[in-house]
Amino acid sequence: MEIKIFKNFFKRIFSNLFKNKREVKLGFYGPPNAGKTSLANRICKDFTGQEIGTVSKIPHETRKVQFKEKVEISYKGKKMVFKMIDTPGIATKIDYENFMKYKLSKKEAKERAKEATQGVIESIKWLDDMDLVVVVLDATENPYNQVNITIIGNLVARKIPVLIVANKIDLKKSDIKKIEAAFPEYDVVGISAKFGDNLEEFYESIFRLSKKIS
Amino acid sequence: MANKKRGLGKNLGRIKGFSIQFLPFSEIKALNSDQRIKKILGIILDNNILILQGRLTASEEARLIGDTMAMIGHIQSFKGIELAVISGNGKEGFFSKMGKGIANVLAGGDFSAITIIGPASIVKEMKRNPKKIELLLNK
């Protein structure tokens, strides 16, 4: 009996130690061009000095899942280690002709479209592997896009904690209240990944949400 | 007045090459997820705008998007879909009543909801807010 109590005691201590030290898989999800990579870059650069991927005005710049491992984020004396997972934007349609508006050749546009469709499939597959997800939305766009609802619905079904980020608050057209009204059950943090505005509140929310990881 | 009427008719006459199909949920209720998605995509690939009573589960919606992506580039002139769900309670049905919302989403159904799916080659955009969906069609 006493041996069993001791065993349980040590097991609890070690599992808690392990839980605090392990890498939290932090995913960045959202529609194309919302600023997922810009935000992931901002965080990675602040804490590792390196970026995770390239950004572009052309949609679907990120067409493969990108990682940055062992990113230690320190905030107000607290530290956590994250595996940052930047995913391709999820869309319901991809038309190569849209890429040609950005002066890509037909061949380049077709190739980009092909890779982008694969990217969407990859993003969806990765939903199962996340511990915590940041859904990045463009605060200048209508939040009632079915893609946003589908992503969040899938995270809820998987019991994965979600933080909604309203990006691009530096732009006049941005409307964070519209996003808050669309997703009243969630924490919504308005930021500008481009200028690094309001990242303190973002880190605060990430640390708070990480306690909900099952 | 007569001119106005003639003008209206003229514009309507230009919309060709698709139809709108209504599908009661009972038609897909007994199907598994694979069969549901196959049935829905079959309707869309026939150039129909589908109005489905109820809604798919969250994972089925994700699979529908994934399967749609897998078809782009393999089926001629298929560019994907436009998709929107509106809840009968007039709010953002999925999130406003969380407990009920999750139960419905996990089980599928939610008969108060309406799901609209159309091929992107026909439906340019679905403008959506909690109370209505507007379909903008391609010319």
B123 touches chain A (CB under 8 A): no
A149 touches chain B (CB under 8 A): yes
Inter-chain contact A144–B68, Cβ cutoff 8 Å? Answer: no
Centroid of chain to Cα B25: 13
Among A37-51, A179-193, B37-51, B118-132, the minimum mean pLDDT is found in B118-132
Q: Is the ipTM of this complex over 0.90?
A: no
Q: CA A192 to CA B73: how far, in whole Å?
A: 35
Q: Between B59, B81, B85, which is nearest A154 by CB?
A: B59
Domain ranges of chain B: 20-137
| pLDDT surpassing 50 at residue A78 | yes
| pLDDT surpassing 80 at residue B78 | yes
Which residue range(s) make up the domain with A102? 23-210
Better-scored residue on pLDDT, B1 or A39: A39
| Token duo for residue A143 | 């939040």
Task: Identify the band that residue B12 occupies on the pLDDT scale cut at 50, 70 and 90.
Answer: very low
Residue-averaged pLDDT of chain A? 92
Count the alpha carbons within 13 Å of A204 in the hemisphere toward its beta carbon: 9
Q: Does A1 fall in a domain? A: no
Mean pLDDT, residues A170-190 taken together: 96
Residues of B with Cβ-Cβ distance to A178 under 8 angstroms: none
Residues of A with Cβ-Cβ distance to B69 under 8 angstroms: 94, 117-118, 120-121
Inter-chain contact A157–B80, Cβ cutoff 8 Å? Answer: no
Based on C-alpha coordinates, what's the Rg of chain A? 19
| pLDDT surpassing 70 at residue B126 | yes
Determine what percent of chain A is predicted with pLDDT higher than 70. 90
Q: Which residue reads 């919309």 in tokens?
A: B15
Q: Is the dihedral of CA B37, B42, B47, B53 positive or negative?
A: negative
Q: Does A116 fall in a domain? A: yes
DSSP state of B18: -
| Token duo for residue A99 | 């890429």
| Token duo for residue A82 | 């994250």
Q: In this structure, are residues A93 and B81 in contact, taking their beta carbons and an 8 Å threshold?
A: yes
Residues of B with Cβ-Cβ distance to A127 under 8 angstroms: 62
Q: CA A36 to CA A43: how far, in whole Å?
A: 11
* Alpha-helical segments (H) within chain A: 2-21, 36-48, 96-100, 106-126, 146-157, 176-182, 199-210
Single out the residue of B85, B71, B74 nearest to residue B41, CA to CA. B71
Q: CA A128 to CA B73: how far, in whole Å?
A: 27
Please measure the distance between the N-terminal and C-terminal CA atoms of chain A and give it in whole angstroms: 29
Q: Between B66, B82, B128, which is nearest A124 by CB?
A: B66
Q: Which of residues 26-65 of B touch A (CB under 8 A)?
A: 57-59, 61-63, 65
Tally of domains within chain A: 1
Span A108-133, pLDDT tens digits: 999 999 999 999 999 999 999 999 99
Q: Does A9 fall in a domain? A: no
A48 touches chain B (CB under 8 A): no
Q: Does A14 fall in a domain? A: no
Inter-chain contact A146–B57, Cβ cutoff 8 Å? Answer: no
Q: Between B81, B96, B120, which is nearest A184 by CB?
A: B96
Q: CA A71 to CA A47: how far, in whole Å?
A: 7
Among A88-92, B122-126, B128-132, the minimum mean pLDDT is found in B128-132
The CATH code of the domain that includes A183 is 3.40.50.300
DSSP state of A93: B
Predicted confidence at residue B98, as pLDDT, reads: 46
Q: CA A35 to CA A206: how far, in whole Å?
A: 17
Q: Which residues partner with B115 through β-bridges?
A: B52, B85
Task: Identify the band that residue B110 occupies on the pLDDT scale cut at 50, 70 and 90.
Answer: confident
Q: Does A53 fall in a domain? A: yes
Predicted confidence at residue A111, as pLDDT, reads: 97
Q: Does A76 fall in a domain? A: yes
Q: Does A16 fall in a domain? A: no
Measured CA angle at A178 (ends B49, A145), to 5 deg: 25
Beta strands A162-167 and A132-138: pairing type? parallel
Measured CA angle at A13 (ends A12, A15), to 5 deg: 65
Three-state DSSP state, A15: helix
Beta strands A188-190 and A162-167: pairing type? parallel
Give me the numbers of helices (H) and strands (E) for chain A, helices first please: 7, 6
| pLDDT surpassing 50 at residue B93 | no
Q: What are phi and psi of B130, to 5 degrees?
A: -60, -20
Q: Does A43 fall in a domain? A: yes
| pLDDT surpassing 70 at residue B91 | no
Residue of B nearest to A96 (CA): B79
DSSP state of B90: S
